[in-house]
Structures are given as structure tokens and as C-alpha cells.
Chain A
Amino acid sequence: MNLSAAGEYAARSGHRIGIVGADVPRQIVMASRALPVRVFGTWDGPITAEATRLLGAVDAVTTRILDSLLVPSQYRFDGLVICNDSMAHLRLFYIARLLSQQGRLPFPVHLVDAPRGTGGPRRQFVTRQFAQLAQFAETITGHALDGESVLSAAQEEHEIGAALRRLRQRRLAQHCSGAEALKAYRAATQETPDVAVRIIDAAVSSGIEGARRIYMTGSSHPDETIYGLLEDAGHVVITEDHDTGDSSWVGEAIDEADPDVLFERLANQHAVRPPLAARALTSERVQHLTRGVEETRCVGAVSLIRELDDAPAWDLPEQETALRARNLPMASRVRIAAAGAVEAAQSIIGELKGPKWRESR
């Protein structure tokens, strides 16, 4: 693959903009000749008292993100963009903004605030947000968006999108595990486009053809810890509705040379993205789940919900009801403690061996 202009500039310039959250149109950052590098956090690992105190009671994954940002050698970012796509991330923005002003974070911090929904007021607001994102990126790279850079960034995103479509086909055919897919998604949002495509296309698994197909809902999966455990136990995660997997905003772009029109069209695209737990209605989430389970022929769904990530817990009862109506089982654990992911997954694995799951489909 030929690396096109924007990615080349990003790679050459070395500008790296950290991204927390799922609402950033990568095309804008790439067209500004910076590399967007998503920060995910982890399911497990230590949490410092300082991060806990600064953020207060939030999802442990976000607290771990703050911890990682506070380690100077962890990232070499020139700027950080945080999305208002969950209360935890919005809180992180408030804290990171102050820490940046105090010099604790050695880069500027910017908020992307993209409320859900269609209609004039929201589209106009999100359009402005994306324009401000471009301005922020420009202050870092010195490059203002132009026709050439936005089109070449679009091409790169399309190539990542094509690779991700191939990945999804392999998952459906059970030639790629969920854990491998999550790694590929991570590469798609952290690496330069050529490297990302290579990693995505290399995500292949063998010996999982007979595994039982699972749909993953609930909290997001910042890494493949849980997927790995489930898949080692004879299951395979075919798809998911969270923003580090099939519901992430990556590989989509607009072929539009005029930046102002681009921002508006990206706002339109944002408005119809898959519904994420923290910003969508339960009814939207249930509809997305049932359609996804049917289309991917999963035998049931698993939901692991972390403590202080309450949005998926409100979705859960109606998700269970909707699947029950289709004679499909759902296994769930709520309020999973900061250090309790593995234990929760092992307990779920035990449940998946039960009769409800054996008899499904």
C-alpha cells in the first residue's frame, strides 16, 4: 500500500495527538498532519491514590487512563483530545485541563463535545465542534486543513475501513477471534495507516470454527483480557456494541474537499453512529443488540459491567427481556470491582456451561 499524503506528513512530522473517547473524526486529525493515537486504559492493573482522588468515583478504566497520562514517559503527545462521550471522560477532561494549566500534563488539552441526535441545533453544534478540533490540531501541527489534506486523509481512512470490513468478515466466518479483533482495532486507532492495515489484515485465528458465538455488550473492553478468557474456554466473540470494537468510529471518512462542508457531513455521520451505552437510549441499544445478534447468528450475549459505569446497567433488563423473547440467553455481571475483571469473567464462563447456553440455537 502506498502511504498517502496526510499519513506521510503525520509520520514525518511526528506530531501525535492523544485521543480519549470515541467521538473524534480521525480524518480531521490526519488531515492536520498529526497522528491520532487513541488511549484505552485497561481492565486490570494498579490505580494510584492520586488519580482516584483527582477523578473521584469513576469507572476504573478511566482512572487508569489518567494514571497513564501522568507518567511522563508513557506517551509523547503533542496534544490531547478528550470526548464528552461519557461522564467519566468528561470528568477526565475537567481534570486534565487543570493539570495541563498547572504543567502536570506537558501538552494542551481539548474537548470534543458531540451530543447525540439528529436535527438542526445538534448538527450545528457538532459541526462547530469539529471545526474547533481542526483549529486545535492546527495549533499543534501548524497545518490548516485544505482540500488535498482532507481528501488524502479520507483515502487513508477508507483503506483502514476496507481492512476492518475484511476483519469483520473473518470474524463472522470464525477465522478471527474477538481478542485478535480487539488488538486489530487498537492498531487501527494507534498506528500509522499503513501499519494499521498490515496489523488488521494479519489478525487471523485458527481452530475456533467450532466455538460458540457470543455477542458482547455491557461496558467497553479496553483490552482483550476478558475476550481471551472467554475464548480460551471455547467461545468466540463475534461482535460487540462498544467503542473499542465494532462500534468504534474508525475507517469512516468523507470524500469532501471543502473543510467547512466536511465538518457538517462528519456531524451527519456522527449522528447515525451505533448507539453507545453512555449516550444512547436503552431502546436504541436494545434494537442494536437484537439486530446484531440475529445478523451475526450469535447463540447469546454476555454483558460485563464495571462498577461506576452505570449506563449499561440501565440497559440490561430490557436487553435480557428482548433476548429472552427470541429464546436467547444472556449472561451478565454488574458492578465489577476495579480488580475484579478476571474473577467476573471466570464466573461467567461457568454460567456459559449451563443448560440455557448449551441448548441455545
Chain B
Amino acid sequence: MKWERLQAAVSATRYQKQWFSDLRDAARSGEPIAILNADAPHEIFRALDIPYVVTQWWSSIIAAKGFGPAALSKLAEQGLPDFSVQYDALPLGEQLLPEDQRPWGGLPTPAFAVAERSGDVTQKIFEQWGKRPETETFLLSRTGAQPVPRNWWELVPHEWESAFGAARLDLLEGEIDELILWLEERTGRRLNENKLAEIMARANEQAEWNRRSRDLVASVRPTPVLVRDTMPAVMVPQWHRGTEWAVDAAQGLYREIEARVERSAAVCPGERRRLMWVGRGVWSDLDLYTEFHKEFGAVFVWSMYLAIAADGYARYGDNSRRALAARFVGLTDQLYVPPWSSEWYVKEAKTHGIDGVVHLIADDTPGSGFITDALEATGIPVLEIRANNADQRSSQAARIPEQVRQFLKTRL
């Protein structure tokens, strides 16, 4: 079945491709660029006019274009593990591919590689970046989720001090200060606090538009948009967070959804089962998300990308650096650490009228069983699938479509 694509998704994808081409031109002309992990404080780089590429986004492009296995093979040729935290490691392998086998011409050599020490391995992957000529690495600490007050999504926009605790914020704020000095020394630029404040304000505005979009999607039956469209329509602007383009893109997404709702558009006419995709997106097989429309009337109405953009990013406050620390200190905790994760997924499942959940469990995400149990306890059946979203070898081996089909037949 053919469906009308969201213009916001088409525009975002087109914009990103042009932006990446411009970034390559900038790098060629000697402009320093950065590769950052998703949980690094991007806004500092934006305020210092340092273009950056986000590891997870670039990994999704590598995977979507089918270069994942080749990139991982290159790591293995270097003696490095090809079985470990592939979502972070793929760009390192991509650097080693022949010029004509790299997506979009390849990521230019970054001047800066910055990540938080998430897990046991991310620091080592980013250390590898720093061993390459012309790239330097900066690492931030990653603290554990303590405290974990209830209903984090109500606290984090304004009451982030109580959500995350002063000690964690002090540490990350101090390290952001160190990062700023490190970048200033290397670029000769100076951070403009007013500019940072404007970026933070725009990021909050963007988050508010995402919140409106999410709330609208949650309230409408049948669903007017596909998650495979909202994923790029939200995530591309997310990687440009704090720019005017990103705010406009988030607003544009909302307006487009609103228009579809007004004309009662349905991406799956005859919608009978509303599905939730918990876990990272399978970027190498986006058709997966529409595969069950015809046979089962089953449509994925939820992915974390719009929902976390709605609930996870807004941070208000006069102290931009501390608010920025509050944005990143527990971003991953919101998604993956129980009880925060399980409480949030249950809340989202209820508001979206979810009938069943497909839960993709990666090796590096903790406490997935609690998420499943919490959803099942509310009467929502859950299919757990263990696979790595960025490693096509793993997602293919998991035979995801077959498992989902069986789940739909037997549990919904």
C-alpha cells in the first residue's frame, strides 16, 4: 500500500543531505568539525560555530545505506571488536572504508571527538578517534541515575535540580566549563553566553512544538502519521537543535499533523491494532514499520524519537550552562533506567491507546525486563526481541518481521 509521506520528513531528509554536503565543503576549506555522541552537550559547539555530526545519526545513515557490515569488518581488520556497541563504533569503521564505499562521500576527518563515558566502551571508541591524525578527544563523566524521583517528565523542564540532584549537575556543569576552555584554546574563539542562552531558548521552543505533535498523535484515532516518517522528521531537527531551522521544522511537523487530523487522514485505513516500538529504530529496514498494515490492520503509532523529543529535552532556567548540564546528565536514564524508563513507557502507552508493544532490546540497555513487566502489568502484551539496531547482521538474524507477525497472531 502506498501512503502519503510527511512533507516534514522529506524536507528534513533533503535538508540534512544538503547540510552534510555543506559540512564537507567547510571541512575541505579547513573549518574544524566535530563528531559528538548524542549525550554530549551539542549546544556548546553550536554557540562556538563548530559544525558537528552526531555519532548515532551518522551510524543510522551508515546502516540505512547498507554500509554497516563493511564498516564493522574494517574495525575487525584492525583487531578491534566488531561485536561491541556498534551504534557508537560504526563511524570509526566508516572512516576506514574506501572513498567510493562511504555514504554521502563519507564523514570528513573531525578535529574534535567528544563523548560522555557512557558504558564501558564509548570512551575507548572515542579514544580511538583521538589516535587518528588531526583529531583530538575530550571525554565527559557519566554518572549513575541517582536519585530517581517519580514522574521525571513532569520535573525535568523546570525542576531539574530535584530530578537529577545537585551533585550530578555540579559535576557535568564543571566539565562543560572545562570543555568550553578546551575548545576555546583550540579554536581561538570565545563562547558568547548570550548566544548560548538564545540557543537554549530555541531548543526549548523546539521541544514545545514536539510536545504538541506528540500529544496530537496520542489523541487521534486512526493515526495520521507513520513512525517511519516522524523518526526523521523529528531526529534531523534534533541534531540541529537550537537553530531557527530546527524550530521551524518542529513547528512545520506539528502543522502538517494538524492538517492531516483536520481532514481525518489515516496512514492505515481500517486500523485495528495500535503498536508501540520500544527501543532504537531499525534504520536499515524502515519498511518494517509498515509491514503489518494490510494483513493485520496493525500500525506502529509510537516510537521514542518523537516522544523523547517531547518530554526529554526542555530545560528552562537562567543559568544556561547548568540548564545544559541538566539536559544531558540523565537523558539516557530517562529512556533506559528503571523505574524511570518503565514509568514513562507505561504513561506513553496509555496516552497513545496502545494495544501491543514490540520491545527491541539491545545489549547496552539495562533493566529491559522491568519495562516489559510494567507494560504487561497494565494489560499490554509485549514482544521482546533481542537485536542490535545498527548491526544489520544482528537485526536480520533476529527475524524481526516473523516474530512480530507471530506476536500479532497469538497475543493481539
Residues on A facing B (Cβ under 8 Å): 53-57, 84, 86-87, 90-91, 93-95, 98, 111, 113, 115-117, 119-122, 124-125, 128-129, 277-279, 281-283, 308-311, 313-317, 320, 334-335
Contacts and interface: CB of A to CB of B under 8 A. Distances in A.
Contacts of B78: 317
Interface stretch (B10-18, B171-179, B264-272): B171-179
B175 A93 contact: no
A98 B343 CA distance: 13
A315 B33 CA distance: 27
Contact of A120 (B83, B146, B174): B174
B81 A313 contact: yes
B363 A308 contact: yes
Given A111-B146, A317-B80, A122 B171 contact: yes
B171 A115 contact: yes
B352 to A, nearest CB: 25
Most A CB within 10 A of own CB, among B123, B125, B368: B123
Given A56-B366, A279-B120, A334 B339 contact: no
B171 A111 contact: no
A131 to B, nearest CB: 10
Given A87-B119, A94-B337, A314-B121, A115 B143 contact: yes
A313 B76 CA distance: 11
Interface of B: 78-81, 83-85, 117, 119-121, 123-125, 127-128, 141-146, 167-168, 170-171, 173-175, 177-178, 337-339, 361, 363-370, 386
Contacts of B145: 94
Instruction: Name the prevailing secondary structure of the A interface residues.
Output: helix
A243 B126 CA distance: 24
A90 B366 contact: yes
B174 A124 contact: yes
Contact of A94 (B120, B167, B367): B367
A90 B119 CA distance: 9
Nearest to A86: B120
B329 to A, nearest CB: 12
A113 to B, nearest CB: 5
Contact of B124 (A57, A98, A315): A315
A94 B79 contact: no
Contacts of B361: 56-57
Given A54-B369, A121-B171, A311-B121, 12 more contacts: A87-B364, A98-B367, A121-B173, A121-B175, A122-B175, A125-B167, A281-B127, A310-B81, A314-B125, A314-B128, A315-B124, A334-B81
B386 A115 contact: no
A278 B142 CA distance: 13
A317 B120 CA distance: 17
Nearest to B89: A314
Contact of A119 (B120, B127, B178): B178
B167 to A, nearest CB: 5
Nearest to A95: B367
